[in-house]
Structure 1
Amino acid sequence: MTDINKVIEEVQAVVMPFESWERLAGESAVAYAAFCAFRDFGPERNIRKAVEVSEKDETKQGKKYRVWRGWAAAFRWRERAADYDGYLDKLKQAELRKTIEEQGKVHRAVTGKMLQVVSKKLDLMDPADLAQGTVTEWVSTAIRAEREAAGITAGKDKPEGSVDKNGQITFLPEFEGL
């Protein structure tokens, strides 16, 4: 982290609460509730839309809009909502990363089993019955799938005996019945 970023974070910690989207000093409960309605509207948010959703009486919407617009300026709604969006995005990214790591563990276990099946199949077969191409393809497929599960290769080629994006495994015909 650069020195300027550290200074900015220290100043923000003094000026703002821990999270900018939390209720600010001097912000009334009603103003904060209005901010929450605005904030929760999502990336396409605007004050008018938030007012229309929160106030069904059209005769009161104009006044409420002016009040909310004042609060939005005074309490930096756009900046705080953007901070909140960034926070939610970080949570989603962390969850996605966790899911990918868990899937990787499953994929590595499956490809390990594939290699064990190939090894057992080779042990049971008469070497004279094995075509060189078949053995090479079995080993190549298992190794490729194992590397893809570990994130070592991109996996652009998907021949038989591979693992697709959804974790579906396609075995060579020689494995039927095992």
Structure 2
Amino acid sequence: MAEGTVESWERQGGESAQAFEAFAVYRDLGPARSITAVARQLDKSRALLGRWSRQFAWVMRATAYDREQDRLFLGEQAQTRRDIARRHAKLAQAVQSKAVARLQALEPRELSPSDLLRYIQVAAEIERRAVGDAPLSVGPERDEHGADVAALSDEERRARMNQLKRELERRLSEGAQ
């Protein structure tokens, strides 16, 4: 805004202090604003307020004020979202460093098949999201027979992995012939 320029919701040239006070009350009433409400609040004649409203374009000025308040609010929301994103990124980095340190201390032989499977799934999911790909699945992971893999016990997973291993070996031996 150029220096010396008056915003439409500020006191205008030729507008008396009383007329501006009445406009400010009207402006600040928000969506419920009306000349009748201002007349009641200031104990002034509705006819006088109607004349000031027309002379000093209250409706247009209040609309401009509302738009400016919306613009400011949206800017505050955007800044708040940026602040939250920065805070969450710092938190995620801290959590990641702790998780990496813990992962490096793990002994793979001590992990159950379900632990290994879950680590692989989570790592693949993180990697896919990092490059902008969609998640692999949205529901429970299922094998080719429709069984919920996550619901299997470690023993059932071992048996399933052995079955898959035998199937893979069979197919490889058939392909070698």
TM-score, length-normalised on structure 2? 0.64
Q: Name the count of aligned residue pairs.
A: 133
1:94-173 alignment, distance < 5 Å: 94-130=75-111, 131-139=115-123
Task: Tell me, in whole angstroms, the C-alpha distance in 2 between the residues paired with 1:49 and 1:126.
Answer: 74
Post-superposition offset of 1:65: 0.6
Cα separation, partners in 2 of 1:83 and 1:118, compared to 1, 3 Å: same
List structure 1 segments (4+ residues) > 3 angstroms apart after TM superposition: 137-144, 152-155
Post-superposition offset of 1:140: 5.5
Which of 79, 83, 87 is the matching residue for 2:60? 79
Task: Tell me, in whole angstroms, the C-alpha distance in 1 between the residues paired with 2:38 and 2:73.
Answer: 24
Task: Tell me, in whole angstroms, the C-alpha distance in 1 between the residues paired with 2:75 and 2:55.
Answer: 33
Deviations 1:137-166 (A, max 9, x none): 44367668x96xxxx7999x7x9xxxxxxx
Cα separation, partners in 2 of 1:126 and 1:97, compared to 1, 3 Å: same
Task: Tell me, in whole angstroms, the C-alpha distance in 2 between the residues paired with 1:26 and 1:154.
Answer: 62
Name the Cα RMSD after superposition.
3.2
Post-superposition offset of 1:18: 2.9
Deviations 1:41-66 (A, max 9, x none): 112211101211222xxxxx5xx110
Partners of 1:23 and 1:32 within 8 A in 2: yes
Post-superposition offset of 1:27: 1.1
Larger Rg: 2
